[in-house]
Chains A and B, each alone.
Chain A
Amino acid sequence: MSITADISETATATGFSREGVEAVSRARLDTGAARDARLRAWELYESLPMPQRTDEEWRRTDLRGLKLDRLRPYAALDGSGVSPVRALEAAGVEDAAAQIALGPNAGVVVQRDAGTILATLDPDAAAQGVIFTDLATAYREHPELVERWFMTQAVPASFGKFEALHAAFWQGGSFLYVPKGVTIEAPFRAFSLISEPGAAIFSHTLAVVEEGAQAFMADAFRSPSLEGQSFASAVVELIVEPDAKLRYVQVQDWGRNVWNFMTERATLAQDATLNSLHVALGSKFSKASIGSHLRGKNTLAEMLGIYFADGDQFFDHHTWQLHESPYGTSDLEFKGALKGNARSVYSGLIKVFEGAQKTDAYQQNRNLVLSRTARADSIPNLEIAANDVRCTHGATVSQVEEEHLFYLQTRGVPRSEAQNLIVEGFFRPIIDRVPVEEVQEFLRTAIARKVGI
């Protein structure tokens, strides 16, 4: 379990400050180097301007509703003594006991607010040198490993305003390390939960899959809808070393009071493979930046996304397929459905660097709008500095066709069920591309529930 010091001095303070950073650092029992890194990040945060709507990536994003000064920088850091099953159930996770069992899972980390409730690892995996635990513990126990990758290669603190804030205040999160040549089939599963209203949560995922190794990691962000604004800042760093394979699945199903900011970058070394899936269902506001650096030769990045917004949800996804070396393949497919007054923005960039010949990049974004008052925008982009490449992209925004509903209805299926079938069918090609029965089942249920809301 995590070791924590007295945090009462600032536990009720709101807003972000240098004193807040120092308090988090003391509470986390940071090493001197870790503390210095936080303070440097804080200075960076202060020096960077708040994103403006004149910035391309923020052009369609309205941050006026976000009240940073009213947030508490962290909630309880001590999660010991809390029942993980009950905490998961309170956050809306079904079948919680099975979700955190070892056997079907290779390891589980459950964190609520900033406190670790559960951290387990299959003994066989541990015997092969695998590390999977909460990030703060990993930092203390394996500083050389964590420091090598933590916000150095994939998402440096200098990435942007919110990433700098994250680097100053990060508390929760998990660390996965799979040594050279080790293959673990079962998923490593991490849950980030929020139980306290008005809290800011900084969850950091760092997964390192060494040469020739293979792993599957699943991140879940869950919380009930609470009174008052919550703020979630997540950074995900996926390091896929030569000839390694990583499958990464992320489900964002925060309560409707959460403003979610997520930045993810994967780095792929030569012959590496990444298969990622991002599912966005919850939160009030979500801005996700998801990118893959195809750094080595002959890499493959499959990036899939499903989002489904209803009510007054706003989802904003930016994707980056960064081809930095020759013979890279990236295959991106993001699909979204919208109902109620929901709004979504997708913008994606395929960037082929000079010399990245024989790149094969594909990008597709399709949106299904289920109500008159919902709106989806899709902005695909290409930037190509090599001459022997194949890049394809496409974007569509469409509605459920009356003709389809009528056909299904003539077979006795009520209109609402027909709509559900069509929406599920719309997402089906992506669901079929994730060959994990449990993930498929979860998605089917989640989509049906969303259609029924």
Chain B
Amino acid sequence: MSDGNSNGTTPMFEIENLHAEIDGKEILKGVDLTVNQGEIHALMGPNGSGKSTLAYVVAGDPRYEVTEGSIRFQGEDILEWSPDERARKGLFLAFQYPTVIPGVSMANFLRLAVTNVRTARAEEIAAEGGSAQPFTPREFRRLMREKMALLKMDDAFATRYLNEGFSGGEKKRAEILQMALLEPKMAVLDETDSGLDIDALKVVSEGVNNLSGPKVGMLLITHYQRLLNFIKPDFVHIMHDGRIVESGGPELAHELEAKGYEGLRARTAEAAAS
């Protein structure tokens, strides 16, 4: 697994001994995970193991209370940050079940989101020789159309209300579209493959692959190995009962595919006993 400090710098994203609960029930029971720039990590595990909770907690969902541990992003503790602050700093969560918000058009919402994120990162953008000047509506439409074409999305999406009447596959594409426009540094993708047929899965995976790169860290949460045929992870982690119980390279996902969670659990238990 990645040991973060191999290049001597602060890891980009670091979770330490994270405990979190909802309505008094502890779901995360001490999660440790480090993601460096340019790495793709896959987080697998059976239903109810706490994968989605981890995603929500990283994004700052107020329903969850963190009782112990820390999450650091670029060396800063983010637990006190609001969800929007986290996003403006470069964190992104692609939701498993994107929320439907009636009356809010994709284009208007995304322009507002992009303007907020780019304004917050003005210094950085300037350092890279760019300009954080807000896009005019026309410029933004062009940019959005460009990104939508990559994800094989119809132009009409721009004027539709946020996720309203979208099919499962359309919602997932819309999440990746948002990611493409917000250009996060660290993205958590929660079950982005669920509900997709094989063609949609190819398009979405290609979109994700286009967004990965040496500067971006990614955490793919998935129940199945299927997604990992299209997006190659550098590291694979298995989560069980609120903890990461095993970490390894891509081969771990194949082993999981062959043995199932039960088989893997038996092996882990054996190893622990010996």
Contact = CB atoms under 8 A, between A and B. Distances in A.
A410 B59 contact: yes
A53 interface: no
B263 interface: no
A417 to B, nearest CB: 6
A261 to B, nearest CB: 32
Given A411-B182, A412-B182, A404 B101 contact: yes
Classify the secondary structure of A's interface with B.
helix
- Size bin of chain B's contact surface: 20 to 34
A422 B103 CA distance: 8
Nearest to B181: A411
Interface stretch (A41-49, A108-116, A423-431): A423-431
A55 interface: no
B99 interface: yes
B178 interface: yes
A412 B87 contact: yes
Contacts of A406: 59-62, 83, 99
A183 B208 CA distance: 56
Nearest to B84: A409
Interface residues of A, number: 23
A58 interface: no
A413 B104 CA distance: 13
B113 interface: yes
Contacts of A407: 95, 98-99, 101
A425 B161 CA distance: 9
A404 B99 contact: yes
Given A413-B84, A413-B112, A417-B112, A408 B60 contact: no
Contacts of A403: 99
A363 B104 CA distance: 23
Given A406-B61, A408-B109, A413-B84, A425 B101 contact: yes
B109 A412 contact: no
A414 interface: yes
B231 to A, nearest CB: 21
Given A406-B61, A406-B83, A412 B116 contact: yes
Interface string A308-328: 000000000000000000000
Given A402-B62, A413-B84, A425-B161, A408 B101 contact: yes
B104 to A, nearest CB: 4
Nearest to A431: B103
B243 interface: no
B165 interface: no
Interface string B100-121: 0111100011101110110010
Given A421-B104, A426-B103, A428-B103, A413 B113 contact: yes
Given A417-B112, A417-B116, A409 B102 contact: no
A223 B104 CA distance: 32
Contacts of A422: 101, 104
A140 interface: no
Contacts of B93: 410
Contact of B103 (A409, A412, A414, A429): A429
A407 B88 CA distance: 14
Nearest to B120: A412
For B62, B99, B116, the residue with the greatest tally of chain A CB atoms inside 10 Å of its CB is B99
Interface string A225-248: 000000000000000000000000
Nearest to B99: A407
B104 A424 contact: yes
B82 interface: yes
Interface in B103-142: 103-104, 108-110, 112-114, 116-117, 120
Contacts of B86: 410
A417 B113 CA distance: 10
A415 interface: yes
Nearest to B63: A402
A409 B91 CA distance: 11
B84 to A, nearest CB: 4
Interface string A375-410: 000000000000000000000000000111011111
B135 to A, nearest CB: 14
Given A409-B84, A412-B87, A421-B101, 5 more contacts: A407-B95, A408-B113, A409-B82, A411-B84, A412-B120
The 7 closest A-B CB pairs, nearest first, are A425-B103, A428-B103, A412-B87, A425-B104, A409-B83, A411-B113, A407-B99
5 contacts: A410-B60, A410-B93, A412-B113, A413-B109, A429-B102
